[in-house]
Amino acid sequence: MVFQALFSSAMIIYFLIPGEVCVEIIGGQDVRPHSKPYMASIQLRKQHVCGGVLIKRGWILTAAHCNLKFKNQNVEVVLGIDSLSKVKSAQILKVKQKFPNLCYDNVSTENDIMLLQLQSEAKLNEFVNVLPLPKRNLDVKDGTVCTVAGWGRTKEKSNKPSDNLKEVNVTIINRTTCNSQKYYNYNPVVTVNMLCAGDKNGGKDACGGDSGGPLICKNELQGILHYREECGLPNKPGIYTRITKGYIDWIEKITA
C-alpha cells in the first residue's frame, strides 16, 4: 500500500511538471528534405524566433505577436533550409519593413497576422519557392486533416529550437466545440477569423517556436499559428489565424 501511494504521488507530480510536454512539433516527424521550400526561419541575432511563409518573392507572412520579440530590432529571414545548422542552400535576407496588422490585439489575439518586406527578393529554385494565398474564401470544414510545420524549441525553458524542420497532421475542430467549457470556454474567444486544430486524444500539436508557421489544408495555406502556452493537450488544440478574404485583401493592398 505504501509503495502504491508513493507511486501514485510520483505519477501526479510527473504530470504536473511542465517539462517535456511543450517541446517542439508534438507527435510529428522530420519533413522530407526540401519538401516545404516556402518555410522561413525568422531570426534575431542568428537565433530562430518565429516561423513564417514566403508568399511572394519579397514578402513573408507570419504572426503579429512575433513583432513583440523584435519590434525595434533588425531581423533576418532564412530561406531554403530544413536544418538550422546546415545552411548550404540557405538564402539569408534582411527585413526592410514590418507590417503587423493594425487591429492586432495581444489580449484577444484577434488579427494576429503580420507581413515582413524583405530588402531584396528571394531567388526561387528547388530549395526556395512561394506558397500562394488561398484562391477561394472558403472556411475549412470540421474534421479536415491539415499539416503544421516548424522549428519549435527542444526544451520547455530553453530558447533553443529544434534543429530540424518538423511537421505533424492536425484535425480541424469546429468553433462551437473549441469555445465550449470543456475546451477554451471563450478564453480566448475563437472567432470566424480563427481556426482550431489538434488531436482529440492530444499528443499532436505545434508549440513554442512554431509561431507564425503555416497551417496547410488540402495543399492550401489556410492559417498562421498563434502563440502556444500549453501544447499537445487533448482539449487545448492549436488556434490559428484563418486566412480570410479580409486578410487576403489586406495582404494584396500592402504587397502591391
Catalytic residue numbers, as ranges? 65, 112, 211
Contacts (Cβ under 8 Å, ≥6 apart) of 34: 80, 82, 89, 126, 127
Which of 14, 26, 41 is CA-nearest to residue 237? 26
End-to-end CA distance of the chain: 71
Distance CA(102)–CA(93), nearest Å, equals 25
Radius of gyration of the chain (CA): 18
Parallel, antiparallel, or unpaired: how do β-strands 214-217 and 194-198 relate? unpaired
**Which element (helix H / strand E) includes 157?**
none
The DSSP code for 205 is B
Q: Would you state the torsion angle of the CA atoms of residues 45, 68, 64, 205, taken in this order, to the nearest 10 degrees?
A: 80
Determine how many CB atoms are found less than 10 A away from the CB of residue 125: 13
DSSP assignments along 16-47, one per residue: HS-SSSSSSSBT-EEPPTTS-TTEEEEEETTE
Are 224 and 113 contacting, i.e. CB atoms less than 8 angstroms apart?
Answer: yes
Note whether 116 and 94 are within 8 A (CB): no
Name the grid cell of 210. 512554431
Q: Which helix (H) or strand (E) holds 225?
A: strand 220-225
